[in-house]
Structure 1
Amino acid sequence: MLHSFQRTRKVMVDSHEAQRQIMFEANSFTGPAYEKFCNDAQRHATLKLEVKLRNWRSCFVSYVSAQKAYIESLDGWLSKFMLIDTIH
């Protein structure tokens, strides 16, 4: 029974390792597993999506940065009035 358990465990470990490797390759879009699952049109669509996502991220980072600068500006403006109110 122990021998059977060891064989089962080995098969599971090997299977999990194979699954991990396939997922790593599929997620990286560079490994041989990606080539197996995608044709040229899908690869092209993936690259276009990646470019659009990078552009969206860049725009979003700029937007957040602008909002942060705006809030800091408002804070500076309001703090001038708060200082005047506390003096009087």
Structure 2
Amino acid sequence: MIDQLAKEIFAKLPQSPEALSELKQDGEAKVRTLLESSLRKLNLVSREEFDAQQAVLERTREKVDALEQQLAQLEQALQNSQKQS
């Protein structure tokens, strides 16, 4: 069945080089349009947007690490002052 379908499709394709070239260009344009449309629906971000958000995340991680360290120091100071009391 698949072989028969493939033969029928091939038989309907234009045979001249000019017609094949035009068919190829038309097919490429339609595939490109379809891919662009599908990618837009996926709600993807550009590489630049991704890199910018990654930089923000790295800075935020550094701030969180610094705050965690500061908190640990304050907790240690509090424990030391409670022991002295």
Greater gyration radius: 2
What is the TM-score normalised by the length of structure 1?
Answer: 0.43
What is the TM-score normalised by the length of structure 2?
Answer: 0.44
- Name which structure has the greater RCO, CA cutoff 8 Å, separation 6+: 1
Q: Which has the higher helix share?
A: 1
